[in-house]
Amino acid sequence: MTDRRQRHVNQALMRIPRRAESTDRYTLATTYVAAGSFSAMLNSEDHQILYGRRGTGKTHALLYLSDLVERTGDVPVYVDLRTIGSAGGLYADSTLTPSTRGTHLLVDTMEAIHEELLSVAMERDIADPDALLAAMDALVDASTAVEVVGEVEAETRSGEKESAGAAVELFASMKPGLRFSAGQRRTARAESRLLRTGVERHHVLFGPLGRALRAVTKALRPSRLWLLLDEWSSLPLELQPLLADLLRRSVLPVPGVSVKIAAIERRSRFFLPSGGDYLGIEVGSDAASAVSLDDFMIFDHTQNRAQEFFGQLFYNHAGPKLATMVREPPVDATAFVDEAFRRGAFGELVRAAEGVPRDAINIAALAAQHANAEPIGIAEVRNAAKDWFLRDKQNALTVNEPARRTLQLLVDEIVGVRRSRTFVLDQLGYAAYETIDELYDARLLHLLRRGIVDPHQPGRLYDGFAIDYGCYVSLLLVGDQTFRVRDRGNWISSPKGVPPDGFSLTRVVVDLPGLLGEPGRGPGPG
């Protein structure tokens, strides 16, 4: 391959968009790659919550679904919850009551949905556009009602007044005519005034709102309405159950509507007990199912499947760009990978990405920049992974000293002492440590298996994690042949996930209280 062609291949990798919302819908539809049966599950008409960490492709999946259902004749309404109202101002203002902030959140959300529906009414051929517009007017009335909270003062004035003059009276009888009269007249006058002093306050009426939405879906028939809510976790945690309760009471029961919500699992609160009832959405009951992209993107025990997924991902994104640069572009994903990477380098890239598409795209772009006019090798992948780790992931912990310290101690113990990348935590034990969730959200820890059972202690559950590739890639760059990161816990990510015979699970569990110097905290392993 000529240097010129190789440079074009690397440039195509560097030009892949990093975020789905900055890409046009057609490109999103043509570049989407589904992991396993995820696409089929997402396309079901059930209400669903789509979980996934940052960078796993939640936004891409929702926008792909939006394009897909639109092409089948249905009506998608996509709402990015980061862009409604004033998420950094009103919703985060602790001086306001939660009910006030929550009500404004509901109103702003319904306003965003109304705006999207208005675009549908103006741009699409609807069977009954008049009925749709009337239903949308009712939707506005129900979601933006205002009441005044405060004192009400009533005032009445009365009096009499004398005047002189003439009057003309028109009368109707068998002989219609006019009657004149003159003299004194006495009139009575009464005035009344109602004075309200208080504050106008929005309130959302769930009953009328549900009826208005039913009228909307009726006007859209036979098309189905798909409500796609993205970036749920960007909302303040304490307000999320309020919006979830609006959906449960007014949207989820409406026939002809499918609701999909994209959220970060450990940064979402859909359910809040309230006396004998509850506020919000009960996952598994009100919302039929929850789908985790993190689970679908675990490829550790099937390396070939992982390479197929990411190979197709790069080909779908970079292939069209490369076709505009060279005469004979690669015909498929395998041909593209063979041109772009040296032997073993693509497998190393897949390992470095840890199942996160955004990390894979950024590492590939940096590696292509390092390689310049040469195919990408293992050294370029490792240097790029190190740069990405320092630039993005580690930088996220600069203001979080507890999480930074926890990561340092885990790397010292797992990588430095045990010469491994996988480890096990007691579910009840690590639930008390918010830093584990923070490291997981930052893609510095990766959950490989949930609910591991120890046959000797069947009442205790464990989760299997892996240290991020970027945490130990610097050791791989040193070239010390005596240091190897062995996958001693490879059973964690195997298809069955069963420890070998004679293996004591509790011996490999990390004792977080002891590791962090807090022996009195948490149950710890038995």
> Rounded to whole angstroms, how far apart are CA atoms 379 and 370?
9
Please say which residue of 201, 234, 266 terminates a domain: 201
CB–CB of 470/385 below 8 Å? Answer: yes
Report the CATH number at residue 259.
Answer: 3.40.50
Contact 31, 361 (CB under 8 A): no
pLDDT tens for 474-521 read: 888 876 555 666 666 667 766 666 666 666 777 788 988 888 887 554
In a domain? residue 526: no
Peptide bond into 458 cis (omega under 30): no
Residue 31 covered by a domain: no
- Closest by Cα among 114, 287, 303 to 216: 114
Do 232 and 366 belong together in one domain? no
Q: Which amino acid does the sequence have at 54?
A: R
Q: Which of 347, 369, 395 is the last residue of a domain?
A: 395
Exposure of 351 in the CB half-sphere (CA atoms within 13 A): 15
Shared domain for 231 and 354, answered yes or no, is no
User: What residues make up the domain containing 440?
Assistant: 399-515
Q: Judge if 272 and 368 occupy the same domain.
A: no
Q: Is position 19 within any domain?
A: no
E strand or H helix that includes residue 515: helix 512-515
Tokens of 256: 């002809």
Would you tell me how many other CB atoms lie within 10 Å of the CB of residue 314? 25
Q: Is the dihedral of CA 518, 520, 524, 526 positive or negative?
A: positive
Q: Is the pLDDT of residue 382 over 70?
A: yes
Q: Is residue 521 part of a domain?
A: no
Domain membership of residue 315 (yes or no) is yes
Say yes or no: 112 and 243 in one domain: yes
Is 289 in the same domain as 313? no
Last residue of a domain, one of 373, 395, 417: 395
Quickly count: other Cβ atoms within 10 Å of residue 95's Cβ: 6
Which DSSP helix (H) or strand (E) runs through 399?
Answer: none
Query: What pLDDT does 387 receive?
Result: 92
**Among residues of the chain, what percentage have pLDDT more than 90?**
23
Strands across the sheet containing 445-454: 422-426, 457-467, 445-454
Same domain membership, residue 317 and residue 282: no
Query: Is the pLDDT confidence value at 374 over 90?
Result: yes
Q: 412 and 471, same structural domain?
A: yes
510 and 411, same structural domain?
yes
CB 236 within 8 A of CB 207: no
Q: Is the predicted pLDDT of residue 441 greater than 60, yes or no?
A: yes
pLDDT at 33: 76
Cβ partners under 8 Å of residue 280, min gap 6? 240, 241, 242, 244, 245, 248, 269, 270, 271, 272
Residue 162 lies in a domain: yes
Domain match, 248 and 321 both: no
User: Looking at the domain assignment, is residue 274 inside a domain?
Assistant: yes
Q: For the chain, how many structural domains are there in total?
A: 4
State the amino acid at position 177 in one-letter form.
Answer: G
- Residue 435 and residue 433: Cα distance in Å, rounded? 5
Say if 180 falls within a structural domain: yes
**241 and 165 share a domain?**
no
DSSP assignment of 294-342, as one string? HHHT--TT-HHHHHHHHHHHHHHHHHHHHHTT-SS--SSHHHHHHHHB-
Give pLDDT tens digits for 331-373.
Answer: 999 999 999 999 999 999 998 998 888 999 999 999 999 998 8
507 & 441 share domain: yes
Tokens of 473: 């890639």
Alpha carbon distances (Å) from 250 to 139, 204, 212, 346, 440: 11, 10, 9, 49, 34
**Same domain, yes or no, for 71 and 178?**
no
Residue 355 has a pLDDT of 84
